[in-house]
Structure 1
Amino acid sequence: MSDSPPSLDPVQLGAYFSLIEVTSLLRHAVEQQLREAGDLSYVQFQLLARLGDSPTGSHRMTDLADGVVYSRSGLTYQAGLLEKAGLVTRAPSADDERSVTVTITEAGRALLEKVLPGHIEVVSGLLFEPLSHDDVVALAGLLEPVRTHMRSAPPRSAAPRRRKNGA
């Protein structure tokens, strides 16, 4: 029996590196556009976009953390910045006083409307322009089972917290 560590074949390795590079280049361009158009970080934009898409304009902090794949403490900090800017409000959840609900304000919706056209332009130009419609359908079909597989593990915000003293 071989004890060699698992490895990736050259095609898998190439696909992995291409995916990482494409993701990094796209994220860099999107972050730059969001900063210039609305002085928003990528995570702040994700939060506003998720809240803006919600029928109520609200989500629980834990659900937001799971959705944007961000730590609870990091999300609390980002939501605090958005609240200070008047883009969201935070309040105890009506159905669970231990939870916090975040709600987008009219100013948050206005900023989202301001940055969204440029965001769409960057994503469309960099990611979708070199692809045919059939390529985009194929890409979506390839990524969906990978995302589902990765999301099948409990989200970070639901994982037990480790104690600092090792207990």
Structure 2
Amino acid sequence: MTEQPASLTPTQLSAYFALTEVSSLLRPAVEKQLRDVGALSYVQFQLLARLGDAVDGRSRMTDLADGVVYSRSGLTYQAQSLEERGLITRSPSPDDERSTIVAITAAGRAVLQAVFPGHIEAVRGLLFTPLSDDDASDLARILGRVSAHLRAAPPRSAARRRKT
């Protein structure tokens, strides 16, 4: 006789369904705003936002892929599209010929500046309006713990690379 897998408690099942429902409702609205204002996919926005937050506006391609949890080949395609629009540049790393350095351009910063107000408003209105600051703090703490747990044994695209 086959052993039945352990089941989720009603509370766990409810939390899981709520998480997947929120994600399914939030992401399309956010993606629409990014497409309408900046002609960006969600992944392209994440890439530009991470570069925009970087001290010098630059990052290794593999670090970007790991940070946005996207396949390296998929991110290469997204980066090529952004480069063709003049929003980023890609160049070989001076430290490691196997690495590619991605840098945000002034045009990329301008697109971020255009999409951020609507992006922030969408996230605030859709996700944070029904929450208190304490709720948002709890949500960040809880999801941060889950993220750390998932990254402990991630798929390759989500693994943090060791610095060499």
TM-score by length of 2: 0.92
Aligned sequence identity (%): 69
Aligned partners of 1:157 and 1:33: how far apart in 2?
Answer: 26
Out of 55-64 and 133-142, give the one that drifted further.
Answer: 133-142
Moved over 2 A (4+): none
CA distance in 1, matches of 2:97, 2:114: 34
In the alignment, is the contact (CA less than 8 A) between 1:44 and 1:79 conserved in 2? yes
SS in 2 for 1:90: strand
The total of aligned residue pairs comes to 159
Shift of 1:152: 1.4
Q: What is the 5 A alignment of 1:35-50?
A: 35-50=35-50
Structure 1 runs not aligned, ≥5 long: 160-167
Q: Partners in 2 of 1:93 and 1:101 — Cα distance?
A: 5
Please, what TM-score do these two structures have when normalized by structure 1? 0.91
CA RMSD across the alignment: 1.6
Contact 1:58–1:101 (Cα < 8 Å) also in 2:
yes
Q: Give the C-alpha shift of residue 129 in structure 1.
A: 0.5
Aligned to 1:151: 151
Is the CA contact 2:92–2:101 (under 8 Å) kept in the aligned structure 1?
yes
Preserved contact between residue 91 and residue 101 of structure 1 (Cα < 8 Å): yes
Q: Do the aligned partners of 2:90 and 2:103 also contact (CA within 8 Å) in 1?
A: yes
What letter corresponds to residue 93 of structure 1 in structure 2?
S
Structure 2 unaligned regions, length at least 5: 160-164
Distance in 2, matches of 1:98 and 1:47, equals 20
What is the SS of the residue equivalent to 1:107?
A: helix
Alpha-carbon distance, 1:157 to partner: 3.1
- 1:98-153 Cα deviation digits (max 9, x unpaired): 01110000000000000000000000001100011111111112111111111112
